[in-house]
Homo-oligomer: A and B are copies of this chain.
């Protein structure tokens, strides 16, 4: 099953800039990468198409999309159409926070990892530009890693899982520079919370602002295509 004896890693790939960079880093670190995306009823469905392009362009051995309808739970501007995506950043944890999202996503990554015999999970969370999401902090990632040992047959039988969050302390500009060095084509990625079906960005939401500022700060030409 291993590609030339490489260790396997499950990489959460959303179609955005950060997770594309995390995938490139996992590959650069010598992992055979298994990309995992969740079709969770997110508004910006264009990101799943982007995830497919990203996984393919960065050489993932497999790209699995799991459908999980979080709209029935709601509670976020990203999963409940009654909550508006704001144009401007607000104080505190934003309405785009999806309750327990990273816990749900990492759980599924862990399940797949156990099935394919991977010990490494990659997630592109970031604690610098993270807009206040609780499940993007280092202490959260460490707690999930500890849970992996207790939660699985593989962990109980003595194996050791590692949850990699290589972007966690990087600025958006640093992420873009690192990914650019690794050959990430950011033109394939979609960050916008309100992207249209073709993946064109609104240019106004939190995520668009962070991304545009990141390219400017990095001194890297911004390939983002905007609407209208």
Chain A residues near B (Cβ < 8 Å): 64, 66-70, 72-75, 93, 97-104, 107-108, 110-112, 114-115, 134-135, 137, 139-140, 143-144, 146-147, 150-153, 155-156
Contact = CB atoms under 8 A, between A and B. Distances in A.
Given A115-B73, A140-B151, A150-B135, A107 B110 contact: no
Contacts of A137: 150
Nearest to A139: B150
9 contacts: A66-B68, A66-B69, A67-B69, A70-B111, A93-B153, A100-B110, A100-B114, A102-B151, A139-B150
Contact of A99 (B64, B104, B134, B152): B152
A138 to B, nearest CB: 10
Q: Most chain-B CB neighbours within 10 Å: which of A99, A107, A108?
A: A99
B151 A134 contact: yes
Chain A residues touching B, majority SS: helix
Q: Which of A74, A75, A104, A146 has the most CB of B within 10 A?
A: A104
Given A69-B66, A143-B146, A150-B134, A111 B75 contact: yes
A103 B73 contact: no
Nearest to A74: B115
Contact of A66 (B73, B99, B107, B134): B73
Contact of A147 (B69, B111, B147): B147
A115 B143 contact: no
Contact of A152 (B74, B134, B155): B134
